[in-house]
Amino acid sequence: MPEWVIEYGIGETRAALIQNDEIVEARVRREGVTPAGTVLEAKLVAVAPRVTVEANGERFLLPRGISGVSEGGRLFVEVTREALGGSEPWKLGLARRADETPARRRRWLMGGQAGSTVGTSLWRKRVRDMSASTAASCASSRRRR
């Protein structure tokens, strides 16, 4: 039976789905970074020299540009690449204009299905639950030895 193994590090949480002693899926969640696939309501803050939007205090570049929205206008964007960390403009997260609202389109970060909504607090609860089930299965396997 597959099980998640969770490691909490400084600034990030790593998870690996293990099945038959092999890692079949791995996820890394960095603290303070909006994950790719997230749909946000954003404000267009600049069109030159780069098209830049701001959402939840974080800035994203729109490499394909934008039409029909002026500076200060609101739009929905989907994060296509997480921010890389650093002050250079090319290290900002990348986004594209989203056709759907955040309520209609969210993704699980770990082990979920498209169309489900998972916020940060729910994600942390899910990680705690997986950690508890992993600890319980480790304890039961120790008892069997």
Q: Are 144 and 23 in contact (CB under 8 A)?
A: no
Q: What angle do CA 14, 20, 21 make, to 5 degrees?
A: 55
Q: Residue 117 — pLDDT band, cuts 50, 70, 90?
A: very low
Q: Are 52 and 91 in contact (CB under 8 A)?
A: no
Q: Are 60 and 93 in contact (CB under 8 A)?
A: yes
Residue among 86, 76, 30, 37 nearest 55 (CA): 76
Total-model pTM: 0.58
Query: Where along the chain do its domains lie?
Result: 3-33+106-144, 39-97
Q: Residue 43 — pLDDT band, cuts 50, 70, 90?
A: very high
Rg (CA), the chain: 19
Domain 39-97: give its CATH code: 2.40.50
Q: What pLDDT shows up at residue 23?
A: 92
